[in-house]
Amino acid sequence: MKLFKISLLVFALSFLSFATVHKYYISVTQIDYVEEKQSVQIISRIFIDDFEKLLRERYDENITLAGKNESESVDAYMEKYLKEKLMIKINGKPVNVQFIGKAYDVDIAKCYLEIEKVKYIENIEITNEVLFDVFEEQQNIVKTNINSKQKSVILFPQKASVLLKFN
């Protein structure tokens, strides 16, 4: 009986330690078309620790996100990175995605972006490679609300782009 309890304890501990090692790498990007403002509004939600790891590797090893002493260069680094990794074409034409700012919510960095002067959307091509260069298991969920139609897709390193039609 004692051997059974010890075996059960060893199994439980090894299972729990394995379970805590596994981590999900995911971001969620919401894209909404606000017709009356002729604006595409984007919120990209990225785990702070994952984004911080990327910014440290790519730009500055001393960066700390969501801290009291956050560097003033963080916004510039975020903007530069997101412009490289989150690309959008509307009706077949590349558009300028503007970084508006960021906010932190517990362990999530919310990055606010916008595309202005969009009169209509027949289709939108979205390439989202955020964090693919750091985590090979990364998946990016993209949710859209365009012309009163909602669509969702999961992008991953082998399929980083999608073309959605709304006509």
**pLDDT over 60 (residue 6):** no
The whole-number pLDDT of residue 167 equals: 83
Prediction pTM value: 0.85
Q: Please, where are the H alpha helices in the chain?
A: 2-21, 48-58, 74-85
**Of 120, 115, 130, 124, residue with least CA distance to 93:** 124
Number of Cα atoms under 13 Å in the Cβ half of residue 137: 6
Q: In this predicted structure, what is the pLDDT of residue 67?
A: 83
Indicate the pLDDT class of residue 2, thresholds 50, 70 and 90: low
Distance CA 41, CA 137 (A): 27
C-alpha 83/C-alpha 3 separation (Å) is: 59
DSSP lists the bridge partners of residue 104 as 109
* Residue corresponding to tokens 């090894």: 14
